[in-house]
């Protein structure tokens, strides 16, 4: 009994002490938790403040960098614009200079070509006038010659009794003289036209040469055509001075005598016609050569019509 009482008494004493000890431990733990929480909050606050300051510094640095980049880009753009402007101006100046130089060169070439054309035209006109005067002199000489031959023919026809035959022979004599004059005039006009066409070909050859085309073959063809024209004019001039007198001897040979005069005229006109045709072919060859020098384009204005037969 005494033991039980002692035990109860001990418990009664121990319980307040245990309870006090328990409360003290709980308070200590509470203090630790609060201290840890405060420490965490302080740490978090410090970290947030540092992070905020770091972000602010980064933003400020980024702003400075952006401003610097913008300034550099602006300067670069300005420099590029100025350089492009200078380049365009230099290009314009060069183009203008080239254009002025080309214009001056073109003008000089055109002037030289025009002068040469004028000289060629003057030479052609001089040859034409010289040829015309020579033909006129021949015609005047022929008139006197024809008149003298007519008197001789009239005397010879005195042997012919048939008046109708006399009239026919006289008309044939006049007809032969007129045919010769007409054909000679036609051939002379044809040669003048051919010479005018050749002058155009020569002028266009000068223009093509100034443009850088090779016209050596054209020059050669023109020279050949000029020689052919000169030969044709010589033949025409010679034919102008010819007459065809009928050697009437008797009434029995009258047909033969008239036929001989007609045959002589036809033969001589064939010679002149051949010379004029040769000149025509030579001028046409020059036109073809000019077309070939222009890469196969034969100018239609250089086309030469065929001479009449």
Q: Is residue 183 part of a domain?
A: yes
Residue 185 has pLDDT above 70, yes or no: yes
Q: Is residue 50 part of a domain?
A: no
47-80 pLDDT, tens digit per residue, is 677 778 777 776 776 676 677 767 766 777 777 7
Least confident interval from 81-85, 93-97, 251-255, 289-293: 93-97
154-183 pLDDT, tens digit per residue, is 877 777 787 888 888 888 988 999 999 999
Q: Is residue 120 part of a domain?
A: no
13-55 pLDDT, tens digit per residue, is 555 555 555 567 677 778 777 777 777 777 777 767 777 877 7
Cβ partners under 8 Å of residue 145, min gap 6: 243
Q: Is residue 204 part of a domain?
A: yes
Cβ partners under 8 Å of residue 116, min gap 6: 203, 206
Q: Where are the beta strands (DSSP E) in the chain?
A: none
How distant, in Å, are the alpha carbons of 182, 209, 214, 222, 282 from that of 218? Answer: 34, 10, 9, 6, 11
Q: Is residue 42 part of a domain?
A: no
Q: Is residue 15 part of a domain?
A: no
Residue 187 has pLDDT above 70, yes or no: yes
46-67 burial code (b ≥16 CB/10 A, e <16): eeeeeeeeeeeeeeeeeeeeee
pTM here? 0.58
Q: Is residue 219 part of a domain?
A: yes
Contact 290, 299 (CB under 8 A): yes
Q: Is residue 134 part of a domain?
A: yes
Cα separation, 169 vs 255, whole angstroms: 9
What is the CA 251 to chain-centroid distance, rounded? 74
- Report the domain count for the chain: 1
């Amino acid at each position: 009994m005494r033991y039980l009482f002692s035990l109860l008494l001990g418990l009664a004493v121990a319980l307040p002490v245990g309870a006090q000890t328990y409360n003290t431990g709980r308070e200590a733990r509470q203090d630790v938790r609060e201290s840890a929480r405060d420490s965490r909050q302080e740490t978090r606050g410090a970290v947030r403040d540092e992070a905020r300051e770091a972000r602010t510094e980064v933003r400020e640095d980024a702003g400075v960098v952006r401003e610097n980049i913008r300034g550099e880009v602006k300067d670069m753009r300005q420099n590029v614009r100025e350089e492009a402007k200078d380049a365009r101006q230099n290009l314009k100046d060069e183009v203008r200079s080239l254009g002025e130089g080309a214009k001056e060169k073109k003008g000089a070439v055109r002037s030289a070509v025009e002068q040469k054309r004028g000289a060629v035209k003057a030479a052609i006109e001089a040859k034409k006038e010289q040829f015309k005067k020579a033909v006129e002199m021949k015609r005047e000489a022929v008139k006197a010659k024809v008149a003298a031959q007519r008197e001789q023919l009239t005397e010879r026809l005195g042997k012919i009794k048939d008046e109708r035959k006399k009239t026919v022979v006289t008309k044939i004599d006049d007809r032969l003289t007129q045919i010769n004059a007409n054909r000679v005039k036609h051939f002379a006009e044809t040669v003048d036209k051919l010479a005018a066409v050749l002058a155009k070909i020569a002028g266009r050859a000068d223009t093509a040469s100034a443009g850088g085309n090779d016209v050596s073959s054209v020059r050669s063809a023109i020279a050949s055509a000029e020689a052919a024209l000169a030969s044709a004019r010589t033949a025409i001039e010679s034919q102008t001075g010819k007459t065809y007198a009928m050697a009437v001897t008797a009434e029995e040979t009258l047909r033969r005598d008239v036929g001989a005069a007609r045959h002589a005229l036809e033969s001589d006109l064939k010679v002149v016609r051949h010379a004029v045709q040769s000149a025509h072919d030579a001028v046409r060859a020059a036109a073809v050569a000019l077309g070939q020098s222009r890469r196969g384009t034969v100018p239609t204005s250089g086309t030469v019509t065929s001479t009449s037969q």
